[in-house]
Amino acid sequence: MQPARRGVSQGGQSETGTSAYSLIRQAILDRNQIVAVYGGHLREVCPHIVGMKNGRAHALFYQFGGTSNSGLSPIGSPDNWRCVLVEKLTEVSVRPGPWYTAAEPPRQQNCVDVIDVTIVPLAI
């Protein structure tokens, strides 16, 4: 798969003209996947929560593809939860695709203090 580029849509809406936060928010509501670069790694994720922590936008993602400093466990593993600072995401795009999550939610969700949107029933 080719990495998504800023302003280029891969089967969905792109970041151009819309904030990354808005794209993540809508992807949660529509249960769409996000493709983005974070920490120098291309990440394929399903967003589960978006909101604020300490006055900054954060999101809780379930990563199912791409790369990561810590590596990826098999799909369904609770080790693939990622808390990200939204402002550090680049090349954000939304695409349809299968919905991935862990068999169990993170032990204690402390990524987002003020939840804007979450996947129900993952209101943790």
Q: For the chain, 124 residues long, give each residue's pLDDT as a single digit of tens.
A: 333 333 333 344 445 435 999 999 999 999 999 999 999 999 999 999 999 999 999 999 999 999 999 999 999 999 999 999 999 999 999 999 999 999 887 777 899 999 999 987 554 4
In the numeric block, which tokens belong to residue 31? 């249960």
Cα 68 to the center of its chain, rounded Å: 13
- Kindly compute the dihedral angle of the four CA atoms of residues 86, 66, 119, 9, in this order, to the nearest 10 degrees: 70
Q: Where exactly are the structural domains of the chain? A: 20-118
Query: Is 21 within 8 Å of 29 (Cβ atoms)?
Result: no
